[in-house]
Amino acid sequence: MTISRVVAIDGPAGSGKSTIAKILADRLKWSFLDTGAMYRAVTALALREGIDPLDTAAVAVLAAKSQIETIPSVLINGVDVTVEIRQPEVNHAVSIIAANPQVRAAMVERQREWSQRQPAGTVVEGRDIGTVVFPDAVLKVYLTASPEERARRRGDESAASIQRRDDIDSSRDHSPLRADESAVLIDTTNKEIETVIEEIVACLNLR
């Protein structure tokens, strides 16, 4: 697979992925995809329908048949779940569903298909973008920040919840959260957003 115009941005919760990816996409006049919102949308729907997140087969079927949009609002099967996907119950269950290999396979296929339809490049953020979804991305960035800073930024989620999700996502068998060996590592603690954007643009211009 050869992907020539993707910037892959990975990192743990609260590292600034979504904010920075959106601004970068706007700067480059490229499209933007929040893959985490896709997994959260599936999680929200599963909870709505009373499906146990640990029921891997049922969740996989749900993910395969659902239609998901993330821009400008997060929709699943036409239902706006933009607010719902940030609720505590979704925070608690999303890493379980995201660890489901069948769900990941379905989402990765959609993410790749979506990127191929974009007229320009695209900035994609998540937790396995540079390592799994777009291994040939033109630039891979891994963002991080101190635990205290990440908890402060999240606001809707406690430090303990963030750490729990990071532990699950980093240790899962399929597509674990980790920095690709070729990724540019940026610690966003105490950095202005614009400073981080400029660092990424500078790296992009050198490639």
Joined together, the tokens standing for residue 95 give: 């890493």
Which class in CATH covers the domain with range 6-205?
Answer: alpha beta
Provide the percentage of residues in the chain whose pLDDT is more than 90: 74
pLDDT band per the 50, 70, 90 thresholds, residue 3: very low
Q: Rounded to whole angstroms, how far apart are CA atoms 9 and 61?
A: 28
Average pLDDT, the chain: 91
Coil, strand or helix: which one is 149? Answer: helix
Are the beta carbons of 188 and 198 closer than 8 angstroms?
A: no
Instruction: Find the DSSP H helices in 17-146.
Output: 17-28, 35-48, 56-65, 88-98, 101-116
Whether residue 20 is predicted with pLDDT greater than 60 in this model: the reply is yes
Model confidence at 203: pLDDT above 70: yes
Phi and psi at 144, nearest 5°, equal: -145, 175
> Would you place residue 1 in the very low, low, confident or very high pLDDT band (cuts 50, 70, 90)?
very low
What residue segments make up the domains of the chain, in order of their start? 6-205
Q: Is the pLDDT of residue 2 over 90?
A: no
